Amino acid sequence: MKLEDYLDIQPEIAEAIKEGKPVVALESTILSHGMPFPENVEFAHKVEKIVRGEGAIPATTAIIDGKLKVGLSSDELDLMCRAENVGKVSRRDVAVYLATGMNGATTVATTMLIAAMAGIRIFATGGIGGVHRGGEDSMDISADLQELANTPVAVVCAGAKMILDLGRTLEYLETQGVPVLGYQTDEFPAFYCSKSGYKLDYNAESPEIIAKIMKTKWDLGLKGGLVIGNPIPEEFALDFDWMNGVIDAALKKADDLGIRGKYITPFLLAEIKDMTEGVSFASNLELAYNNARLASRIAKAYVAL
């Protein structure tokens, strides 16, 4: 079998890619393992509507019935949102899921992989994975970082998830040669919070300059992607010190329960939602919508080049 035999690209998206129209990849793990049903259904439809409203085509990815899906039908979106027998699929799991016909939601790493196979250059997510707190001992480092080092897709995010070690995550990205751009900010965003205290080298003032940086990087044959840190809008941003206290408590509970590996992020996000009485969840939605808007504008600027 050839790669094309595994890829199932919706006709609208395939035509848009062929004609050089702007397309934005979207992940499905945020639906299956990051949000409860049925709130995730509303989110899935709204984020796709936002992308279309900005003049781009949304391409939500997943693995269903032995196929790498690029664009999902309403029934397939519902399948991801109900999350019944839907696994969390990173790069290492892709071949297993395809070969066995299991259904899986795509992480940042897997969405990048599928997007690159389909010819999509821009991807909007909530926050990337990174080096976990205590990662210097546990070696718990998200596969997202290696994907960013090797796969030519630009990722718009509200920084890395705040449950992580942001400093070590940035150091890892630097070692791997991954450009980290701040969109109209001098600081790396901290997911729920607009500032982290970690300064960035590059403040990109417009989608057009980001698109030009993307094109220049790949024109030079430099491998890998880019991170575009897009701060959560101030009206939805949470207090940094307060959120750090909440996260410390959630991390302690995860450690007490022995929760590790790919299960820890969904556990922590759910725990933080409960501890903040839903405030963190509302912020999570808004930062994801904000990232979809910016990614769509970058996609339009990129195809214009």
- Residues taking part in catalysis: 27, 161
How many C-beta atoms lie closer than 10 Å to residue 299's C-beta?
29
How many C-beta atoms lie closer than 10 Å to residue 14's C-beta?
18
How many distinct helices (H) and strands (E) make up the chain? 14, 11
What single string gives the DSSP state of each residue in 101-142?
T-EEEE-HHHHHHHHHHHT--EEE-S-B--BBTTHHHH--B-
Q: What H or E segment, with its residue span, contains residue 172?
A: helix 166-175
Q: Are 32 and 102 in contact (CB under 8 A)?
A: no
Residue showing tokens 């090797």: 150
Rounded to an integer, what distance in angstroms lies between the CA atom of residue 40 and that of residue 286? 13
